[in-house]
Structure 1
Amino acid sequence: MRSERTPRWTFAPVLAALLLQLGVLYAPSGGGAPPFAHFDKLVHCAVFALPVFLALLVRLPFTPVVIALAAHAPVSEIVQATLLPKRAGDPWDVVADLVGVCLGVAAAHLGLRRAKRDR
């Protein structure tokens, strides 16, 4: 009996979301004015929600995905504060990142539940 495997190409969006996250978090700051107050918190939330959502949607294991991305939140701010000269760490960015992880989990849960119901 052949076990069903997820096609490799389905992981491409997850990888793309992670690369986007790394670019947003570690590239030198553009220095331009944000379009509105706290825009950066919205961006932080989104770049953590998207990979969690996509990873769980393609059924990667829940616990390692959530732990890895939740751990990356404070690590990224420490790296920005200590190793990247044109970046600064912000504890509120960690909060926004963790909110993003939670939103990604919730959105994936709702999406998978809806897909199961629609079968």
Structure 2
Amino acid sequence: MRVQPFVLALLLSLVVLFTPAAGVPDAPPGTDKVIHLALFALLAVTGRMAGIRPWPLLAGLTVYAAVSEVLQALLPLGRSGDLLDGLTDVAGALLGLGLYAALDRFRARAG
């Protein structure tokens, strides 16, 4: 099992999700959704690489998405919780699980 990439992805997500608003660079509209999607896809792929089964991983990432949005709204970070960000997080986790499954099937056929 390769846990280090998952731990690094989790640490990256903490930085991205909880950086105070003053430290977040300006970006074109919608960029935050792309970042949320990619970040949670990365968490899902690296979570599978670490040996976490798909359903527990999806459940954990869904809870993490919800908690992170609530915390963004409650903590004095100058950020706000956004339901659409949370839904995008879950979509990213599903995307990552799908990508990992497709790669796994490809490897099984090739080897």
TM-based fold match above 0.5: yes
RMSD: 1.3
How far did residue 80 of structure 1 move?
Answer: 0.4
Residue identity over aligned pairs, in percent, reads: 33
Counterpart selection for 1:32 from 25, 33, 57: 25
Structure 2 regions of 5+ residues with no counterpart?
A: none
Q: Is the 8 A contact 1:57 1:112 kept in 2?
A: no
State yes or no: 1:23 paired with 2:15. yes
Structure 1 regions of 5+ residues with no counterpart?
A: 1-5
Quote the Cα distance in structure 1 between the aligned partners of 2:18 and 2:52.
Answer: 25
Alignment correspondent of 1:3? none
CA deviation map 1:10-56 (0-9, x unaligned): 2111110111011111121224320x220000001111110111111
Quote the Cα distance in structure 1 between the aligned partners of 2:16 and 2:73.
Answer: 15
How far did residue 63 of structure 1 move?
Answer: 2.0
Structure 1: 4+ residue segments shifted above 4 A: none
Aligned length: 110
How far did residue 118 of structure 1 move?
Answer: 0.9
How far did residue 59 of structure 1 move?
Answer: 2.8
How far did residue 61 of structure 1 move?
Answer: 1.9
How far did residue 84 of structure 1 move?
Answer: 3.0
The TM-score, its normalising length taken from structure 1, stands at 0.85
More helix by share: 2
Amino acid at match of 2:64: H
Q: Which moved more, 1:24-33 or 1:47-56?
A: 24-33
Amino acid at match of 1:90: D
The TM-score, its normalising length taken from structure 2, stands at 0.90
1:1-119 to structure 2, matched below 5 A, reads 6=1, 10-29=2-21, 30-34=23-27, 36-119=28-111
Amino acid at match of 2:26: A
Summarize the Cα distance change of 1:31–1:25 in structure 2 as closer, same or farther, 3 Å threshold: closer
